[in-house]
């Protein structure tokens, strides 16, 4: 496997620039909460010689590749098999009370997309799995087999923002009455048959359904809702966080958490803001930054990315 070819970290230089004031501290500690194959972590460890990075990932295949790729950094690279809402426990288990930086590179990884047998891609026939941690939990096939029509419609609508959610849910329930749906090609065929021809011309009809199933299988949004506040609490004074989100549902959660953390808690009408009401964090970028046009042209996976970042400026009272 040519890791460098299949895995190009998105917005790498911008991410490093935003984290540099924290990563450049003597003996700094960072958390790569979505380690993947270690592209961002490798770049951080190369650029900051006294840095230690704790890499988290629920995907055992990714951890195995990252361990091999980052072996040259010795114990400056640490590895924890966990979902990223376990960030506080992972940091404590590695012997640290706080960290200087946290990076989230959300969404499905290159490894998961490019290995057809993982079942993430609607363009490749494979078992309907979609688990980021292949060692535990229910699969997409389990959800297709057991969820009611109403439940399927809700996840397609809520997690895929799919306008034809009701039509697709009904088609799936009818099809499974004739036999189990266990492969991605079977599901794509059902969805395509239920899609008006005019809609098919607007893009692949299975895209949003597969996104919704992946989110449901891995509980991605609920995990992120827990992980973001936990990550902020692990940062020491001057610590920085960068989050790369690839779809609007994730980005809304990130935006909401960072807005809350960077807003004064002073009651309305006070003549002056007391220190204990001052924001604990400040935003480092205005809104969400996009990848440059040049990077989007070179790396198509950079097209949907939204980057947000913040710095801790006050400890809790």
The verdict on whether residue 100 carries a ligand-binding annotation is no
Is residue 85 part of an annotated ligand binding site?
no
Assess contact for 53 and 44: CB atoms under 8 A. yes
Bridge-based pairing state of the strands 306-312 and 281-283: antiparallel
- 57 labeled part of a ligand binding site: yes
Question: For the structural domain made of 117-218, what CATH number should be given?
Answer: 1.10.150.170
* CATH code at 3-111+220-312: 3.40.50.150
Q: Is 154 annotated as a binding residue?
A: no
According to the model, what pLDDT value does residue 147 have?
Answer: 97
Does the pLDDT value for residue 116 go beyond 70? no
Ligand-binding annotation for 38, yes or no, is yes
Average pLDDT over residues 4-33: 90
Is 39 known as a binding-site position? yes
Could you read off the pLDDT of 79-101 as tens digits, one per residue? 999 999 999 999 999 999 999 99
Residue-level pLDDT at 19: 98
Model-level pTM? 0.89
122 annotated ligand-binding residue: no
**Domain locations in the chain?**
3-111+220-312, 117-218
Mean pLDDT of 259-284: 76
Q: Residues 208-246: pLDDT tens digits?
A: 999 999 999 999 999 999 999 999 999 999 999 999 999
């Amino acid at each position: 496997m040519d890791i460098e070819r299949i895995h190009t970290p998105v917005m790498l230089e911008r991410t490093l620039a935003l984290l540099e004031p924290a990563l450049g501290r003597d003996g700094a500690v960072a958390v790569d909460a979505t380690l993947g194959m270690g592209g961002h972590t490798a770049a951080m460890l190369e650029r900051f010689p006294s840095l230690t990075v704790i890499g988290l990932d629920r995907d055992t295949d990714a951890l195995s590749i990252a361990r091999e790729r980052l072996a040259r950094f010795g114990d400056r690279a640490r590895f924890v098999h966990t979902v990223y809402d376990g960030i506080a426990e992972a940091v404590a288990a590695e012997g640290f009370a706080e960290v200087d930086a946290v990076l989230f590179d959300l969404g499905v990884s290159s490894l998961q997309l490019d290995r057809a047998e993982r079942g993430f891609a609607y363009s490749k026939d494979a078992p309907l799995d979609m688990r980021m941690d292949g060692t535990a939990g229910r699969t997409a096939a389990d959800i297709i087999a057991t969820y009611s029509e109403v439940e399927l419609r809700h996840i397609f609508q809520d997690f895929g923002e799919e306008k034809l959610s009701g039509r697709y849910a009904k088609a799936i329930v009818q099809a499974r009455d004739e036999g189990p749906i266990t492969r991605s090609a079977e599901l794509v065929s059902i969805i395509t048959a239920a899609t008006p021809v005019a809609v098919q011309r607007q893009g692949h009809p299975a895209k949003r359904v597969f996104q919704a199933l992946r989110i449901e299988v891995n509980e991605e949004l609920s995990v992120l809702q827990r992980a973001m506040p936990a990550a902020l609490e692990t940062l020491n004074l001057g610590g920085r966080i960068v989050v790369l989100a690839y779809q609007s549902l994730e980005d809304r959660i990130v935006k909401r958490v960072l807005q809350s953390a960077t807003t004064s808690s002073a009651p309305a009408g006070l003549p002056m803001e007391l220190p204990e009401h001052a924001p604990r964090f400040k935003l480092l970028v205005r809104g969400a930054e996009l990848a440059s046009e040049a990077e989007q042209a070179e790396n198509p996976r950079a097209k949907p990315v939204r980057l947000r970042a913040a710095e801790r400026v006050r400890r809790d009272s």
